């Protein structure tokens, strides 16, 4: 049990939200949750968590409100159209752990500030494995004093780093997703290249492990490619959304991102070919198809 339990509301109970809400409850915090499809949140009741019918109900008494919603427009809809923002206490802290555009995060922070509600954008990396284990990398934008206020929440979810003002957390997450998406493509293309020439793909992955080409992507996603295991952990469609957000932000800031643009197009073609619900390592399938290696 934590010595200073907080009242926490979690909006959005999916693959990430469910284990994170459970961890916060197990740490001794009083947790309310809301999800558009209530049935997905019902398993949390056995963990002492209250499932509310509306986001406004869930946030009403909360010290900290956590968003794990699908995208920026959905976050804005829940906050400002479904009355969550108006229902929060004046001294509440809204922690948006969804992956949205930095400009959207800055807009939400300004609008919440007018209502007396503090804001942090705090997207995460680490997937469902990190959410279950409490080992997420949390990239946080906002005021340093609000970052300090959020520590009793962050400490049960992973390692949090304050990276700058409002929107900076989302910039860090987009940078993370650029690296992930591009590296998945590099690993997939290299393994397929080796296999096309007659090498054993599994052995190639083993041989280059530990050298300069080694990475967590090679180890984890490379193994999925070898095994043709594309059950979704992080979906192709979500990876595409993140790369599109990165490109939109690049255009806003006048930044030339040719490598990200290339991979945005590759993931888009994979999604157009029906691969959107595969794990993001499923870009391998798109590249294999191009080379008649199915």
> Residue 14 gets which letter from DSSP?
S
Q: For the beta carbon of residue 107, count every other beta carbon within 10 angstroms.
A: 16
Q: DSSP E strands: which ranges in the chain?
A: 7-11, 30-34, 50-51, 64-67, 93-96, 118-121, 124-125, 136-142, 158-164
Contact 113, 79 (CB under 8 A): no
Structure tokens at 177: 């997703």
At residue 9's C-alpha, the angle toward residues 158 and 280, to 5°, is 50
CB-count exposure of residue 81 (10 Å: 0-12, 13-18, 19+): exposed
Reply yes or no on whether 173 is catalytic.
Answer: yes
Whole-angstrom distance, CA of residue 50 vs CA of residue 268: 39
Whole-angstrom distance, CA of residue 290 vs CA of residue 249: 30
Backbone phi, psi, residue 35, to 5°: -145, 145
83: left (phi over 0), alpha (psi -120 to 50) or beta: left
Say which of 40, 90, 173, 241 is annotated catalytic: 173
- HSE of 277 in the Cβ direction (CA atoms, 13 Å)? 1
Whole-angstrom distance, CA of residue 173 vs CA of residue 90: 28
Tell me the catalytic residues: 173
């Amino acid at each position: 049990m934590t010595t200073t339990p907080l009242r926490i509301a979690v909006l959005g109970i999916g693959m990430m939200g469910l284990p994170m809400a459970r961890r916060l409850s197990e740490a001794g915090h009083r947790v309310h949750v809301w999800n558009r499809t209530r049935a997905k949140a019902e398993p949390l009741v056995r963990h002492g968590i209250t499932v509310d019918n509306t986001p406004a109900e869930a946030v009403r008494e909360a010290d900290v409100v956590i968003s794990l919603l699908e995208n920026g427009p959905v976050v804005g809809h829940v906050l400002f159209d479904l009355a969550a923002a108006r229902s929060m206490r004046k001294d509440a802290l809204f922690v948006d752990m969804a992956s949205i555009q930095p400009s959207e995060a800055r807009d939400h922070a300004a609008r919440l500030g007018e209502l007396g509600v503090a804001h942090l954008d705090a997207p995460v990396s680490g997937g469902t494995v990190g959410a279950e284990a409490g080992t997420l990398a949390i990239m946080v934008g906002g005021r340093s004093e609000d970052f300090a206020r959020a520590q009793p929440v962050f400490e049960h979810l992973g390692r949090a780093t304050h990276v700058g003002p409002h929107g900076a957390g989302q910039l860090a997450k987009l940078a993370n997703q650029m690296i992930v998406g591009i590296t998945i493509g590099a690993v997939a293309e290299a393994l397929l290249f080796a296999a096309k020439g007659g090498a054993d793909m599994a052995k190639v992955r083993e041989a280059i492990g530990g050298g300069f080409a080694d990475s967590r992507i090679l180890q984890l996603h490379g193994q999925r490619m070898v095994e043709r295991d594309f059950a979704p952990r992080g979906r192709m469609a979500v990876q595409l959304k993140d790369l599109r957000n990165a490109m939109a932000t690049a255009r806003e800031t006048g930044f030339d991102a040719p490598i990200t643009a290339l991979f945005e197009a590759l993931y888009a073609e994979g999604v157009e070919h029906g691969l959107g619900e595969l794990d993001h390592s499923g870009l391998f399938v798109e590249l294999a198809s191009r080379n008649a290696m199915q």
